[in-house]
Amino acid sequence: MRLKPKFKTMRKLSLVTLASVFVLILAGGIVRSTGSGMGCPDWPKCFGSWIPPTEVDQLPSDYKDIYAEQRAEKNVKFTGYLEFLGFKDLSNQIRNDKSILVEDDFNAAKTWTEYINRLIGAVVGLLILVTFIFSFTYLGYDNKVFYISLITLVTVGLQGWIGSVVVSTNLLQWMITLHMLLALVIVALLTYSYLRVRKDRWSLYQEIAPSQGVNSLLVVLMILSLVQIMMGTQVRESVDIVADTFNHSQRESWIDELGLVFYIHRSFSLIILIAHLYLLYRVLYFYGNQGNLMINSLVLMIVIVAEIASGAIMAWFAIPRFAQPLHLLFASVAFGLQFYIWVKARQMSAYPANEPHRLKRVQEDANYQVYS
């Protein structure tokens, strides 16, 4: 027996698309760590062109005024949306914040760093569109694959719009946090889609142990990770403020100036480490390696340790630029793995071995994926 080509293609495409999102998150981390977020003052173009300039002489002398005015117009629309949704105070705050319209001097390195980030984003968007097109083949077989792909496509469109607002508001902190959280939503959607189209999805339901609270524990871990990531964005904001205060010099002094949120963020990592060790124990004790859950949990543990190690490197070695994007990447991969294990554990516990009639039905449902 072998898989029909269209399902095989969908599985590969789902995996490549999911991996590309993590590449995009890493690129975004590089943009953030190098201070290149405003390297392109407009969106989706960069300085009004699809290929950005390399020298300031290629720009008009009043380029700062031009792009500040463009961003001001966009912010008027955005604040109008906020007022419509009932966030009048926030809307007024954005309108009265003059720093939002301050334009940076042209810097070719920062411009091209942001531009490459946008190119990667465009590739990810294209992959998600192609994934959605291929998901039509699942209509009548597994409709959830189609609907999840549709939701993912819509979410990516929303993410693109939020990205444009991040630029127009000059990297407004809570918008950056929202942008990051939505990226994790996309990771979760793509992870779920990938699991539904995997070849061995149906082979998991054999002699399955009960979940014994593992599912609930994973939900708690995902919530803890989201809280930690949100605190991390606040630490990142503090780093930006301190860096400006020191004129981006004396990096060895930055950590001492970060304040309470940094120490909470650092201490919270110990709670997350202990919680993941407990997850490892629960999976080993109740599941063994059924459905490869033990291997998945070990990989998750390694990623958590790498995330903590990258944070320690930043604290001990004056926040080196290379560690910042890696820290964000490890946090995102950890969340993706948590969601991946949670979905697999739910699939496994949904069809326990003591209900053979349900197992038979699942195996029959799987016949659409294969042919002799």
| CA 256 – CA 242 distance, rounded (Å) | 10
Contact 301, 277 (CB under 8 A): yes
- Residue from 331, 43, 12, 60 nearest 197 by CA: 12
Domain, as residue range, for 274? 209-350
Final residue before a domain boundary, out of 173, 201, 229: 201
Whether the pLDDT of residue 174 is over 60: the answer is yes
Instruction: Kindly indicate the confidence band of residue 364, based on its pLDDT and cuts at 50, 70 and 90.
Output: very low
Q: What pLDDT score does 372 carry? A: 30
Task: Let me know if 248 is exposed, middle or buried by CB neighbors in 10 A (0-12, 13-18, 19+).
Answer: exposed
Q: What pLDDT score does 148 carry? A: 95
> Is residue 358 situated within a structural domain?
no
Query: Element (H or E) spanning 79, and its range?
Result: helix 63-84
> Is residue 367 situated within a structural domain?
no
Least-confidence region, from 99-113, 231-245, 309-323, 351-365:
351-365
Report how many domains make up the chain. Answer: 2
80 and 191 assigned to the same domain = yes
Per-residue pLDDT reduced to its tens digit, 209-254:
556 688 899 999 999 999 999 999 889 888 888 887 888 788 888 8
- Tokens representing 226? 């989201």
| CA 118 – CA 43 distance, rounded (Å) | 9
pLDDT above 70 covers what percent of the chain? 87
Name residue 317's amino acid.
F
Instruction: Kindly indicate the confidence band of residue 16, based on its pLDDT and cuts at 50, 70 and 90.
Output: very high
- Residue from 274, 293, 269, 130 nearest 215 by CA: 293
236 and 327 assigned to the same domain = yes
> Is residue 370 situated within a structural domain?
no
215 and 183 assigned to the same domain = no
Q: What pLDDT score does 224 carry? A: 95
Whether the pLDDT of residue 199 is over 60: the answer is no
| 352 cis-preceded (ω within 30 degrees of 0) | no
Final residue before a domain boundary, out of 182, 201, 220: 201
Q: What pLDDT score does 356 carry? A: 41
- Residue from 109, 108, 30 nearest 321 by CA: 30
196 and 274 assigned to the same domain = no
Whether the pLDDT of residue 354 is over 60: the answer is no
Q: What pLDDT score does 14 carry? A: 93
171 and 309 assigned to the same domain = no
